Amino acid sequence: METVIGLKGKDFVLLAADTMLAKSIFFLRDNSSKIRILSRNCMMGVIGNDGDAMHFTDFISTHISLYEIKNGYPMETQTVVHFTRHHLLANVASKVKYMVAMLLACFDPKRGPNLCFIDAHGASQSLNYSGHGIGHTICMSIFHMLWKPGLTIEGGQSIIRKCVAEIQNRLIVNLRHFEVYLVDKDGIRKLDSVGGKQVDLINQECIVPITRA
């Protein structure tokens, strides 16, 4: 009952994830952050077992910081992707398995923005837009229709808002709030959350009209 989505623009990457923490059919709290900051220019949106997600992201961020301390320069974004995938694969092959899937968003001054899809089995692929969880299948058609090369930050935020509106209208699971983060040449910053009244306004211009009996 979780969702994380992301898209890559001209010179940035946006990640959005719901903030609900649930156990089986029970709602626990609505302030659980699924987007973790790994370094000054890398962040990760993780879904799965909450304990596994916390332990996995803590391990990755700690080793990225250690690498910078030991070498005097930060780990390259492509190295972050390979290190993350390697650690996940190593645990898949062992008795300790992380039940997590993630989107890794980075910005490299030389290579530009990068959005990497990594599933629970360690398969990875750099994409223009992607997602994990119960809501991402709804968003794929919206991404396909609205995403374009050279997308601006404002355009990316508009797509994210439309995705959240469709998720909240189509799913019986009440994902009330989505936090949104952006990474670009200036680093990582948190943008305004999406949900509630914002979604009510977006409903008037939904991609797929809702039919009511």
Q: What would the pLDDT profile of 83-115 be if each residue is shown by its tens digit? A: 999 988 888 777 777 789 999 999 998 899 999
Q: Is residue 129 part of a domain?
A: yes
Within 8 A by CB and 6+ apart from 140, the residues are: 129, 131
pLDDT value, residue 99: 86
Residue pair 48/101 in contact by the 8 Å Cβ criterion = yes
> For 48-63, what is the mean pLDDT?
90
Average pLDDT of the residues in 116-131? 93
Residue-level pLDDT at 172:
84
In a domain, 115, yes or no: yes
Q: Is residue 31 part of a domain?
A: yes
Within a domain: 213: no
Instruction: Please report the pLDDT score of residue 210 as a whole number.
Output: 46
**What is the model's pLDDT at position 47?**
93
Token pair listed for 89? 């694969």
Per-residue confidence (pLDDT) for residue 173, from 0 to 100: 82
Residue 18 pLDDT grade (very low, low, confident, very high; cuts 50, 70, 90): very high
What pLDDT shows up at residue 61?
93
Whole-model pTM?
A: 0.86
Q: CA separation (Å) from 99 to 55, 73, 164, 191?
A: 11, 31, 25, 28
Domain of residue 94 covers: 3-205
- Whether 87 is covered by a domain: the verdict is yes
Residue 112: per-residue pLDDT = 93
CATH of the domain at 152: 3.60.20.10
Place of tokens 């699971």: 173
pLDDT at 121 (0 to 100): 86
Cα distances (angstroms) measured from residue 111 to each of 39, 76, 90, 121: 17, 10, 28, 26
- CA 155 to chain CA centroid, Å, is 17
Within a domain: residue 41? yes
Q: Where does the pLDDT of residue 122 fall: very low under 50, low under 70, confident under 90, or very high at 90 and above?
A: confident
Residue 30 within any structural domain of the chain:
yes
Please compute, for residue 93, the number of CA atoms within 13 A of its CA located in the half-sphere on the CB side: 7
pLDDT tens per residue, range 151-198: 999 999 999 999 999 999 998 888 889 999 999 999 999 999 998 655
Query: Does residue 161 sit within a domain?
Result: yes
pLDDT of residue 204: 45
Each residue's pLDDT tens digit, 26-39:
878 888 899 999 99
Strand order in the sheet with 100-108: 35-39, 42-48, 100-108, 112-118, 124-126
Tally of domains within the chain: 1
Distance of alpha carbon 36 from alpha carbon 54, whole angstroms? 9
At residue 212 the predicted structure's pLDDT band, cuts being 50, 70 and 90, is very low
- What mean pLDDT comes out for the span 47-58? 89
Strand spans (E) along 19-135 = 21-23, 26-29, 35-39, 42-48, 100-108, 112-118, 124-126, 129-133
